[in-house]
Amino acid sequence: MQRKKSDPSPWSTVLEPSEFVQLASMVEVKTGKLIFQRTDQRTLILTSKPRLLSVKLKGNSEGPIVKEDFSLSKDHDIAKPSSVIATSNVSLKGDKALVVNNGDKSFTYTFSEPSEANLWVRTLQNQLGISNQ
């Protein structure tokens, strides 16, 4: 089913006015420290800006909360993300996880299917201009 242009995006509160979702998937993220670690559900969103967002959905009226905001652009002045992803900082871990490293910290996003993880790695590497040859 295609969405009409007049339909509001469920992500309108986390997107900038002229930005739209290019790819989105549900992922699992481990949060907390070692013995207090838990698994949270998040939505990973690649936007047209291009940005990579990790969004946590709240069960109440608070709406979505952006937990991570990465710029995929080489122009560091276009937005105010928490960090910029460099070309070598996107990789596959095992067969179901995407690892994003911003230079200070690594973020691991686990998908339910290996094909989704592969799609995300290929898409992000293409966005960043990385060749897999």
| pLDDT of amino acid 116 | 96
Q: What is the pLDDT of residues 32-75, one digit of tens each?
A: 777 788 889 999 999 998 899 999 987 666 778 999 998 886 55
Q: Which of 55, 80, 51, 77 is nearest to 66 (CA)?
A: 55
pLDDT tier for residue 79 given thresholds of 50, 70 and 90: very low
* CATH architecture assignment, domain 21-128: Roll (2.30)
C-alpha 39/C-alpha 46 separation (Å) is 22
Average pLDDT, stretch 64-88?
A: 67
- Structure pTM? 0.81
Provide mean pLDDT across the span 78-93.
66
